Structure 1
């Protein structure tokens, strides 16, 4: 049962990855595309890491560190992108 749940989470993570990548083909702004991609990649990666946790519960410290790193990195990256897009016209 745990193996099935693990495979479902890993599969869901892959679906999020491909779903986020599909937004790159749209006609919206670059920032919308990057936001969609980063959110989908973060959720997909976290689902995969949780699926791996179910497979390897003895490795929980490293997997927890991976989830925390994903959350912090993508949050900071979002703020950097927002800052760069808001100050783009003020550079001389």
Structure 2
């Protein structure tokens, strides 16, 4: 019973983090700040989801570990690529 509660908490935290990163997109901050805030919230939310799923299905740990590793690598590389591509736009538009 305790594992199901912990799993539910992780899934709930993941859902909250997913939605927490979205309202920043509507602010007047720089595009790099928006991308950073959204990608951090999305990554942490997804990792919380993976932990919640791992608690519910402990026998699937190799697959979930692969998903966590892929998620961390993908979001890190994507964040650098987007920041690199957006950087000249920031200089041109102030």
Structures share fold, TM-score greater than 0.5: yes
TM-score, with length taken from structure 2: 0.88
1:39-90 deviation per Cα after TM superposition (whole angstroms, max 9, x unaligned):
100000000010000000011111001100110001001110121123456x
Unaligned stretches of 5+ residues in structure 1: none
Counterparts of residues 58-69 of structure 1 (less than 5 Å): 58-69=59-70
Cα RMSD between the aligned structures? 1.5
For structure 2, list consecutive stretches of 5 or more residues without a partner in the other structure: none
Number of residue pairs the alignment of both structures matches: 90
Shift >2 Å, 4+ stretches: 85-89
- C-alpha distance in structure 2 between counterparts of 1:38 and 1:74, whole Å: 7
